[in-house]
Structure 1
């Protein structure tokens, strides 16, 4: 499936901003199933500096800086991607979750070593004792890891209500777990914390989702600005994604933009602003299906 994505971010300030510096992660990733065709970022007013690089997690990242006074900043990101159907994993033939936990701990294989850093707590994904018992309801002894994670995904989807008034970007996982409500970012952080509580490598994925489905297909739940889900690493199989918000394994309706330990690592835009006073923020994303990848 081929998609065109337009992500627009508008900052408006009460007073002049004298100068500002920003990092943006708005360029889609190249993955085994996602082909990044093109991207461009347009900043208004025109920045004095605009460069690109790869961050620690290999996410495409833009840096821009403005040294002229402004009361409005507009960032337009335009991208095209083609997403192929990923091969189906046989859930019950994946290794038992205890085997994965132990292998990642002791492996000297480079891919396993790279994944091992996602076994530990991060600022927004703590390892909590209460989550161990909740997670073990799906991770019975000897259960194939992908089968167990699929069940955990289903339970989070059923046990937690999607409610964008229940949490904010600063709501901790412990409060989400207690409230049994949140949004896609909260569910991703919760599921990562659950998996890491058992010593399993899981990472946060940021991207977009096609919420307007083809005829006859159910509408998916996702934020207007972006969507979030998780990836679980299994040696020999690599990373497999799970979307607890919609209780699915992402395929051609999900567009990958960045991944990291949690939201702090992949925030779409962050920066330092000097002056400006009170600010307002408006974000809009349009994901347009263009054609089937085979056409």
Structure 2
């Protein structure tokens, strides 16, 4: 499946901005499930400094600076992405128990130390690549800036973590419960709303639901990471498709040994396949913020964002 994604952000200022420096994670990743065929920025005013790099997580990062006075900043990214069908739906039937995965992560040796075997799980990893993969996954067990494990999160997750239950089944159940128990309400939360409020009031948006699931999984020793991206939306039959009304999206991914990372979308209660386009991943939203920066001057400002995800036949 091929898509053209147009993401436009406009900052309008009440007073001139003399200098701004910005960092964007708005270009889709390349990995086994998708390929970014081409991507470009259109920035006004034209930046004096512009360069790209990969961050710690392998996300594409663009830095740019504008050194001329301006009352409006417009950043548009246009990308064409090919999303491949999932390699195997058999991954969703992996029967490795969640206790086995927890124990593997607790006992994993450092890369290069040879064969690893969990006494409880009786699961063996024979090579360095698998050991290194486990070590990489361990970083997604730790508390992060926007996701801190609490007894309340563990308590909410407990009904899903039944003894001797396959991890994939646990995550499916947790995803479904979040979808049923929480109301999508874009007026309730902001980026700064604590996860405890989301849990207490059972309201939020995709970012909140992804953070909630991540916190629940980490509470039981399961690695989980945050995914930012887009999802294709389709109008009802007979209704004309509107341009620019799509939005950025967020979901989460869980690590399953011998399978890899599996994505889950609690906002829509579905497993992402060929309608989800990945921008970046990290420990939580703070690692993958689409656009952030500092501006000198400007007074008050307003922000508008439009996203268009167009399927290319």
Correspondence for 1:119 among 106, 125, 141: 141
- Which of the residues 233, 242, 259 maps onto 1:211? 233
Encode CA deviations 1:79-104: one digit per residue, 9 max, x unaligned. Answer: 00111110213544330001111112
- C-alpha separation in 1, matches of 2:137 and 2:8: 32
TM score, norm. by length of structure 1: 0.94
Q: TM-score, normalised by structure 2?
A: 0.88
Contact 2:25–2:288 (CA under 8 A) maintained in structure 1:
yes
Given that residues 41 and 77 in structure 1 are in contact (C-alpha distance below 8 angstroms), is that contact kept between their aligned partners in structure 2?
A: yes
- Deviation, 1:106, is 2.1
* CA deviation vs aligned residue, 1:191-223 (integer Å, no higher than 9, x gap): 10000111110000000011116969xxxxxx8
Whichever of the two has the greater Rg, that structure is 2
| Gap regions ≥5 residues in structure 1 | 217-222
Cα pair 2:7 2:76 within 8 Å, conserved:
yes
For 2:179 and 2:164, the matched residues in 1 are separated by: 24
Unmatched runs of 5 consecutive residues or more in structure 2: 111-130, 239-244
Asked whether the 8 Å contact 1:37–1:80 carries over to 2, the reply is yes
Match of 1:247 in 2: 269
Partner residue of 2:204 out of 182, 194, 206: 182
Stretch deviating more after TM superposition (91-100 or 73-82): 91-100
**Mapping 1:63-78, distance limit 5 Å:** 63-78=63-78
Counterpart CA distance in 1 for 2:18 and 2:84 is: 45
Secondary structure at 1:246's aligned position in 2? coil
Q: Which residue of 1 aligns with 2:120?
A: none
Provide the rounded CA distance (Å) in 2 between the counterparts of 1:174 and 1:166.
13
The 1-side partners of 2:236 and 2:97 are apart by: 36
Are the aligned partners of 2:246 and 2:309 in contact in 1 as well (CA < 8 Å)? no
2: distance between equivalents of 1:179 and 1:251?
A: 30
SS of residue paired to 1:200: coil
Let me know the Cα RMSD of the aligned residues: 1.5
Q: Do 1:229 and 1:243's aligned partners in 2 also have CA atoms closer than 8 Å?
A: yes
